Structure 1
Amino acid sequence: MLGRKYGMSEAQARAGEENLRDLAAAEGLPYRTEGRDFGNGIDMHRLLHLAKEQGKQAELLRILYRANFAGERSLYADADAYLVELAVEAGLDADDARRVLADPQAYADDVCADEREAAQLGANGVPFFVLDREYGVSGAQAAEVFTRALTEAWGRRSPLKLVEDEDATAEACGPDGCAVPQK
């Protein structure tokens, strides 16, 4: 599938997968190079939007990555039942997850907006990481590449320019909070 999609030979695709496995192993992460299937991930993205509303997006994403890249079970065959299990593992309500999966329009506009934004930022594949909306890291890269990109992004950031009222008596909150005016 990778060879067809990216115009490379089977040997090149296998070498790329083995490289990904080695990069993951260097970080202590499992990565299966054989037996993974593929398909349309829109339902996973729709569930991620449900999880975002509940503050559980990062956890669901971590679980989906683990299931996709290291798990034995398919995310695409009998997907709804398995996706509900994974959503519950992330702390979502099973009925809420089933409701989203049963309605193809639920969060579809949000997913399309994400796709448009990714294209505008220059993402041309996955994974693709955006740092400070100015730097992009495409593909599975070694930790050193991320360290270099993060260091450069941090070094080039512009501190906020503080605009203040000329009235020196203006009240402001401090590290201990704000005084609440009494009526």
Structure 2
Amino acid sequence: MRVEIWSDIACPWCYVGKARFEKALAAFPHRDAVEVVHRSFELDPDRAKDDVQSVLSMLTAKYGMSEAQVRAGEDDLGAQAAAEGLEYRTRDRDHGSTFDMHRLLHLAREHGRQGALLDALYRANFAEEATVFNDDERLVALATGAGLAEDAVRAVLADPAAHADAVRADEREAAELGARGVPFFVIDQKYGVSGAQSAEVFDQVLTRAWGERTPLTLIRGGAGEDAETCGPDGCAVPGH
């Protein structure tokens, strides 16, 4: 069973929602049969790479919130993150373009390191002091720390077209599915879950999707018998 998760590194609810989903998945009896794929979604796709500002100024300008409202919201997010065992800096974080990070996540998927890199990017953005925006050397350090080869990482960062089509394809698919925000989870190509739901909700959806998987129907011959096959012990001999 496949679970696809559209998210953005700049999205605090994606950070929290990932932890809640993983809590549900860890307790799911069939977790070893679940493939998790992370898909790209930019909250700010038109932002230039060098356009970096504080989260405080971004939120006050974008939503017309007061500084006090922004700080209160950040404090609430910090408390919810802490409840999931996550570190969260409620002050002095930056906001910027995440396009290069998504391109690196597609590189990481090719090498089986997507989950490790996503965790590193979330931790760097929400828990650590150094910015992850418009800083290629910071991204190189995070990606190599997640197990990617440095030359491959630098090659992607040096080529704006590398994995760009994959990022845009993910974003088009999200729009086609009706996702207007993230996190957005698609379970077994059947159920969509929007937002950082509780672990209990994710458990219910995983259980329901697994229970509705179509069982294998074995078709036998006219006499109700299997035809000849080959197996570990050899092949059936006609007439014997």
Please indicate, yes or no, whether the TM-score normalized by the shorter chain is above 0.5: yes
Q: Which amino acid aligns with 1:41?
A: T
Q: Structure 2 CA distance, aligned partners of 1:105 and 1:29? A: 34
* 1:159 equivalent in structure 2: 214
Residues 159/17 of structure 1: CA separation in 2 closer, same or farther (3 Å cut): farther
* 2:166 equivalent in structure 1: 110
Q: CA deviation at 1:170?
A: 4.1
Work out which of the residue numbers 143, 152, 168 in structure 1 matches 2:199: 143
Q: CA deviation at 1:27?
A: 1.3
**Is 1:169–2:227 an aligned residue pair?**
yes
Moved over 4 A (4+): 178-181
Work out which of the residue numbers 70, 90, 98 in structure 2 matches 1:41: 98
CA displacement, residues 104-126 of structure 1 (integer Å, 9 cap, x when unaligned): 00010011001111112222223
Asked if the contact 1:23–1:141 (Cα under 8 Å) also holds between the matched residues in 2, the reply is: no
Q: Which amino acid aligns with 2:215?
A: L
Q: CA deviation at 1:72?
A: 0.9
Q: Structure 2 unaligned runs (5+)?
A: 1-57, 236-240
Work out which of the residue numbers 122, 126, 131 in structure 2 matches 1:69: 126
Work out which of the residue numbers 72, 79, 100 in structure 2 matches 1:22: 79
Q: Secondary structure at the match of 1:34?
A: coil
* 1:88 equivalent in structure 2: 144
Residues 116/62 of structure 1: CA separation in 2 closer, same or farther (3 Å cut): same
CA displacement, residues 84-123 of structure 1 (integer Å, 9 cap, x when unaligned): 0011001101111000000000010011001111112222
How many equivalent residue pairs? 174
TM (norm. structure 2) is 0.63
Worse-superposed segment, 128-137 or 27-36: 128-137
Asked if the contact 1:48–1:57 (Cα under 8 Å) also holds between the matched residues in 2, the reply is: yes
Q: Structure 1 unaligned runs (5+)?
A: none
Q: CA deviation at 1:135?
A: 2.7
Please report the RMSD computed on the Cα atoms of aligned residues, expressed in angstroms: 2.5
Residues 161/15 of structure 1: CA separation in 2 closer, same or farther (3 Å cut): farther
Q: CA deviation at 1:46?
A: 0.5
Q: Secondary structure at the match of 2:185?
A: strand
Residues 45/130 of structure 1: CA separation in 2 closer, same or farther (3 Å cut): same
* 1:121 equivalent in structure 2: 177
Q: Which amino acid aligns with 2:191?
A: Y
Q: Structure 1 CA distance, aligned partners of 2:90 and 2:111? A: 33
Work out which of the residue numbers 59, 84, 87 in structure 1 matches 2:116: 59
Q: CA deviation at 1:172?
A: 6.9
Asked if the contact 1:24–1:30 (Cα under 8 Å) also holds between the matched residues in 2, the reply is: yes
Residues 153/104 of structure 1: CA separation in 2 closer, same or farther (3 Å cut): same
Q: CA deviation at 1:33?
A: 1.8
TM (norm. structure 1) is 0.81
Greater percentage in strand: 2
Q: Structure 2 CA distance, aligned partners of 1:52 and 1:32? A: 28
Higher relative contact order (CA 8 A, sep 6+): 2
Q: Secondary structure at the match of 2:147?
A: coil
